[in-house]
Amino acid sequence: MNNKVLISVVGPTAIGKTALGVYIANYFDTEIISADSRQFFKEMSIGTAVPSLEELAAAKHHFIQHISIEHQYSVGDFEKEAIAKLHELFKKHDVLVMVGGSGLYVKSITEGLDDFPEINPEIRQNLNTLLEQQDLQSLKEQLKELDPEYFEKADIENPHRVIRALEICIGTGEKFSSFLNQKKGKRNFDIIEIGLTADRQIIYDRINLRVDIMMQAGLLAEAKKLYPKKHLNALNTVGYKELFSYFDDEIELEFAISEIKKNTRRFAKRQLTWFRKNNKINWFDYKTKPEEITKFISEEINTSK
């Protein structure tokens, strides 16, 4: 595996990662691993901004709409499957590309995950039932009591993270945070990390425009089709949960759309906070010509040989 290179493209939602990833993959005549956890699900297309048919045809993608929303799929599952896929693809390519804004999923590949013990699946089922019957607030309060250290630094608006931390706390009797930042094994390929960014207002404007385009493309109808399964974990996400509230007659459609925009902007802010902690990322303005970025990558590859 000597001199094998994974190029990781990250950044906030709506910044242009997919287009850059396709360009880089074509430049190096290679394939793309998706590390966007919302794009894994077959039934979710418009609301997750999966690559267009043209983009999928322009470069071979893996882990795009490969599982059903009915399927429980963890970051640990992704790490195992994606590392196996990388090893397989590195047999025919020296360079591979990974694209995605899901920080923990990207980290699972670039650094590896912390090692957690096996937990009785009934605990997660019970927590999911609690989330369904009550709300996220009650789970957040429980997490604050069981692991205040993790509560202070976690993305506690993300129900998947809250439930994951709680199931470890309950299943082991130990704090979730006590399992974090253990020494991990090194990857046997080199990693070049590329980040796209822009002024915050530009990112927010791009998000607002994207949501409008999604609505025009049929997001309302897509959400309506998925509404009977709104209790599933995969659907407890921005772009769908707001429209489910509209279907429940809790809010007006116009307000639901404004909430999608607001919650997506908040998500982008959390993405930037996560990625900016990583000093290995080489940041580029979103308007940087892709030729400049591939030139930088080529120089980095040549330097490391």
CATH number at residue 271: 3.40.50.300
User: 179, 200, 226 — which closes off a domain?
Assistant: 179
1 has a pLDDT exceeding 60: no
Residue 184 or 75, more confident: 75
Q: What is the CATH number of the domain that holds 162?
A: 1.10.20.140
212 and 99 share one domain: yes
170 and 241 share one domain: no
49 is in an annotated binding site: no
82 is in an annotated binding site: no
* Count: domains in the chain: 2
16 is in an annotated binding site: yes
> How confident is the model over 11-26, as pLDDT tens digits?
999 999 999 999 999 9
197 and 130 share one domain: no
172 is in an annotated binding site: no
194 and 296 share one domain: yes
35 is in an annotated binding site: no
173 and 83 share one domain: no
> How confident is the model over 149-194, as pLDDT tens digits?
999 988 888 888 899 999 999 999 999 988 887 666 678 999 999 9
Q: What is the structure's pLDDT at 185?
A: 61
What is the sign, positive or negative, of the torsion defined by CA atoms of 215, 216, 220, 221?
A: negative
150 and 168 share one domain: yes
Q: Which three-class secondary structure state does DSSP give residue 191? A: strand
Alpha helices in the chain (DSSP H): 17-27, 53-58, 75-89, 103-110, 121-133, 136-146, 148-153, 159-172, 200-217, 219-226, 241-247, 253-275, 290-304
Nearest-CA neighbor of 113 among 71, 44, 156, 168?
Answer: 168
51 is in an annotated binding site: no
168 and 218 share one domain: no
133 and 86 share one domain: no
31 has a pLDDT exceeding 80: yes
- Of all residues in the chain, the percent with pLDDT exceeding 90 is 81
268 is in an annotated binding site: no
15 is in an annotated binding site: yes
Q: What is the structure's pLDDT at 132?
A: 83
Phi first, then psi: what are they for 207, rounded to 5°? -65, -45
Taking a C-beta distance cutoff of 8 angstroms, is the pair 200, 303 a contact? no
Q: What is the structure's pLDDT at 121?
A: 87
Residues 6+ apart with CB under 8 A from 84: none
174 and 245 share one domain: no
Distance CA 24, CA 294 (A): 6
Please give the residue range of the domain that contains residue 258: 5-113+188-304
Mean pLDDT (the chain, rounded): 94
38 and 141 share one domain: no
Mean pLDDT computed over 209-233: 97
